[in-house]
A and B are shown apart, each in its own frame.
Chain A
């Protein structure tokens, strides 16, 4: 029993740090609240879709930015999609990096766009590993017979 309580404490602490450091915002809480007995894997499913979609968009962005004649509208369309999906799961820092990226698209600044792509990639990798750790902690709590503390 003490083991479960300790694991739950770790989970709450870790989750709190993700909000405090701005990796996640309230939208992620909304996802967790939508999850229920009839859809116990809802959050993991949506986040997995986010990972797949983001990876695809980041690849597309890298390709688009390599082209000789840069199509800024195309780049902006990809960033727009990434901004939307990151805001839908509450990946606040990725969303912020996308907003900055779109500003450089608007003024057609290639250097700025390349820097922003790197920034977005970094933020995406960070939140991906944070979420994976979060899900692992949740699994440990469940495996020990505990319940996930609701936000």
Chain B
């Protein structure tokens, strides 16, 4: 069951470096995720069916089907430092979009700059990974996708306790602090059993 569920998850990876695209693609495929890679933030938005015009005209009645997400993407993992649109810019566009903001976003960066990390987390990024990204980092993605999926499934009827952490329902608990949500997230991760997709990874010795 776990494997079937995992392969349903589709991750969009954004990185301007072809080497890092190749690497993240392999890491995600090893974890049995469906992967699409693109080399820029604008191509990512294009893939997601985001159009600036439609965003600004969203109050007008639209006959275009593009406002619906045609491609199911369960998570976006993006590099921070890219020419043109940065990973932070991309994150903001996604979180400002009414029909994309539920997709979890994870930022990767080769630089450990606390202010940058905080800025991304405050803007709604789920995680911030330091490059090079490892398999143990990729293992942290699943709870975010499960959470988003669970929320998606339950949306019209009931709100699970997990749902209270998302921006849409934050008004229910306006006093929630980032520290609390961090603990909650950790607790969630612990609650979900980690599949060991590659058992040979453990117990390896450095030669």
Contacts and interface: CB of A to CB of B under 8 A. Distances in A.
B69 interface: no
A63 to B, nearest CB: 18
A16 interface: yes
B179 interface: no
Contacts of B201: 33
B110 A84 contact: yes
Contacts, number: 65
A46 B207 contact: no
Contact of A39 (B18, B26, B198, B204): B26
A30 B134 contact: yes
Most buried by A among B135, B200, B205, B206: B206
B204 A85 contact: no
Contact of B132 (A39, A49, A88): A88
Interface string A77-110: 0001101110111100000000000000000000
Interface in B143-193: none
B22 interface: yes
Interface residues of A, number: 30
A98 B134 CA distance: 22
A75 B207 CA distance: 36
B17 A87 contact: no
A29 interface: yes
Interface residues of B, number: 22
Interface in B105-147: 110, 131-132, 134-135
Contacts of B26: 34, 39, 42
B207 A53 contact: no
Nearest to B201: A33
Contacts of A140: none
A64 interface: no
Contact of A88 (B19, B200, B205): B19
Contact of B23 (A26, A31, A81): A31
B27 interface: yes
B30 A88 contact: no
Contact of A49 (B19, B134, B205): B19
Contact of A46 (B22, B30, B206): B22
Please provide the 3 A-B residue pairs with the shortest distance between their CB atoms, ordered closest to farther: A85-B19, A34-B26, A88-B132
Interface of B: 17-20, 22-23, 26-27, 30, 81, 110, 131-132, 134-135, 198, 200-201, 204-207
22 contacts: A19-B206, A19-B207, A27-B132, A30-B132, A33-B198, A34-B23, A34-B26, A34-B135, A49-B18, A53-B17, A53-B19, A83-B110, A84-B110, A84-B131, A87-B131, A88-B19, A88-B23, A88-B131, A88-B132, A90-B132, A150-B200, A151-B207
